[in-house]
Structure 1
């Protein structure tokens, strides 16, 4: 059983929003806070019109508490292989006084362009090293290339460790748009909305 690149990238989009450097450990220039994610929702930008489509993504509980336990399941499909360089373009917006304002890219958080998500995966999990659980148990790949096909991640328990957010990432409503592409061709697009509360 495998998981689609679209699933991995959708979760990575949230991770990149929360932590700079492709979900690496955040340095101590940020203040440590407990965080809650409320009202998480998602949708494909263009329905089923693109090669990569996320069919389902369920996260519980709501709110999601960090640090804390999380249940996640997902399914998706892609009609094309995902190979390097796999570009990821993220647009992060925050609601301010009823208007959506684009958050610039700062310290690899915000509206950032990543030239190759495959390299981010190789940085997080060195090639030749076993994929982390639960990926290893289900035989889910964690490096490019990802083959075309249908993919499913059954309901799985995760523990979310503490996240150190930058001081400027304040409480509020956010929306994230993530676009996948190879050589200028858009392969998939996902929109995520959530509310962030930290103390």
Structure 2
């Protein structure tokens, strides 16, 4: 099994995911939503701790409910990658309507939390076409009770978002987690 993110080596990936954050778009070149940039620090990501994230996304199409998200999460065990199951909405899960999930987290009519509010990034569907940019911003990762199988280690995630069977975006991530 390749030690590189799904066997693809490119400028966005840099070094192997062992101890190195990496990302890339994986969808069709016609996907309307494209991740332009993504930076995450520290590396490895520490839980609990502070996470500094910057990102830019462009969308040539509005995204409306129902937005389906499919995550495939794998963890490195030696040279093998093991797909993690979906347990309690963590792991390799399918979320049939991300818009409803967002509405449950942030009730409609409520202002979006910082720093989304400051940078004009929406937190409810529909998401208008356009460019969205999040300058380096700090987020606090609380001391979460993660299952043992989702703690220290190297991970890779493939996230696909679609609407009515049409793929809108696909992103692959590789990262390391370190819990205190």
TM-score tier (shorter): 0.7 to 0.9
Q: CA deviation at 1:161?
A: 2.0
Aligned to 2:4: none
Q: CA deviation at 1:48?
A: 4.2
Indicate conservation of the 8 Å contact 2:45/2:175, yes or no: no
Q: Distance in 2 between matches of 1:132 and 1:45?
A: 29
Q: Distance in 1 between matches of 2:151 and 2:164?
A: 35
Aligned to 2:85: 104
Q: Distance in 2 between matches of 1:62 and 1:46?
A: 26
Of 22, 44, 49, which aligns to 2:25? 44
Q: CA deviation at 1:86?
A: 0.2
Structure 2 matches for 1:4-153, cutoff 5 A?
Answer: 38-46=19-27, 48-153=29-134
Q: CA deviation at 1:100?
A: 1.6
Q: Distance in 2 between matches of 1:110 and 1:102?
A: 8
Per mean C-alpha deviation after superposition, the further-off stretch among 101-110 and 74-83 is 101-110
Q: Distance in 1 between matches of 2:140 and 2:151?
A: 23
Q: Distance in 2 between matches of 1:108 and 1:48?
A: 30
Q: CA deviation at 1:47?
A: 6.8
Q: Which runs of 5 or more structure 1 residues have no equivalent in the other structure?
A: 1-37
Indicate conservation of the 8 Å contact 2:66/2:98, yes or no: yes
Change (3 A) 1:102 1:80: same
Q: Distance in 1 between matches of 2:108 and 2:149?
A: 34
Any idea what SS the aligned residue of 1:123 has? helix
Any idea what SS the aligned residue of 2:76 has? strand
Structure 2 matches for 1:163-174, cutoff 5 A?
Answer: 163-174=144-155
Indicate conservation of the 8 Å contact 2:75/2:83, yes or no: yes
Q: CA deviation at 1:121?
A: 0.5
Q: Distance in 1 between matches of 2:164 and 2:63?
A: 11
The CA RMSD measured in Å over matched residues stands at 1.9
Q: Which runs of 5 or more structure 2 residues have no equivalent in the other structure?
A: 1-18
